[in-house]
């Protein structure tokens, strides 16, 4: 799992990029609690597709509807002039 940094200091977002070898977590219940309650926007992606996000990310990206975000391409939420930089990370 790779953590991608965000350069926007006003609206920090942590994006977790899952690779094919690290999709199991040691304690999924603890992960789920920490993930959902974290005040920092968290987004889990694989191959640029959003697999999960917490409510903080949903509020930032789509006004609060997590289900409307899951399955979309992360680039849908990034300014087109930043796509090349985002794809290189």
Instruction: Give me the tens of pLDDT residue by residue for the chain, a chain 89 residues long.
Output: 444 555 555 665 666 555 544 555 556 777 787 788 888 888 888 888 999 999 989 988 877 789 989 999 999 988 899 888 888 87
pLDDT for res 37: 83
pLDDT for res 11: 60
For the whole prediction, is pTM greater than 0.85? no
The span from the CA of 56 to the CA of 64, in Å, is 8
pLDDT for res 20: 43
Q: Which residues contact 18 (CB under 8 A, 6 or more apart)?
A: 1, 44, 45, 46, 51
The span from the CA of 53 to the CA of 45, in Å, is 9
């Amino acid at each position: 799992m790779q953590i991608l940094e965000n350069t926007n200091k006003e609206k920090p977002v942590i994006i977790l990029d899952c690779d094919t070898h690290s999709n199991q977590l040691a304690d999924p219940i603890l992960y789920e609690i920490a993930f959902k309650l974290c005040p920092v926007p968290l987004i889990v992606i694989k191959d640029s597709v959003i697999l999960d996000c917490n409510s903080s990310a949903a509020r930032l990206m789509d006004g609060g509807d997590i289900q409307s975000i899951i399955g979309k391409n992360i680039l849908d939420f990034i300014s087109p002039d930043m796509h090349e930089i985002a794809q290189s990370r």
